[in-house]
Amino acid sequence: MRMSIKHPLRKLSKENWEKYGKVRYMVEQLFGSIKQKVGSSFNLLRKDLARKMAIACAILWNFWVVVIYFFTLPTALVL
């Protein structure tokens, strides 16, 4: 005997889980990979500088993925 969800935020959370739950693992995998490469925190006192550093790390991560894609894919296709 399960009770139904009564709180509106919990209902919304359940609806979003049913809608986006299948894509969630890809997003978490991306952030997990970035955190492994650059660390999980920035030792900065100002919030705006930490935000700028996080954005810069995400941009550098994207450049790294593009470089790996373009320089390793052609060599894998050559037989």
Contact 13, 24 (CB under 8 A): no
> What pLDDT score does 13 carry?
85
> What pLDDT score does 76 carry?
52
> What pLDDT score does 77 carry?
55
Q: How many CA atoms lie within 13 A of 7 on its CB side?
A: 4
Kindly tell me if the per-residue pLDDT of 67 is higher than 60.
yes
Sign of the CA dihedral 49, 53, 58, 63?
A: positive
Q: How many CA atoms lie within 13 A of 59 on its CB side?
A: 6
Condensed to tens digits (0 to 9), the pLDDT of residues 10-63 reads: 888 888 888 888 787 777 887 787 778 777 777 878 888 888 888 888 888 888
Contact 51, 45 (CB under 8 A): no
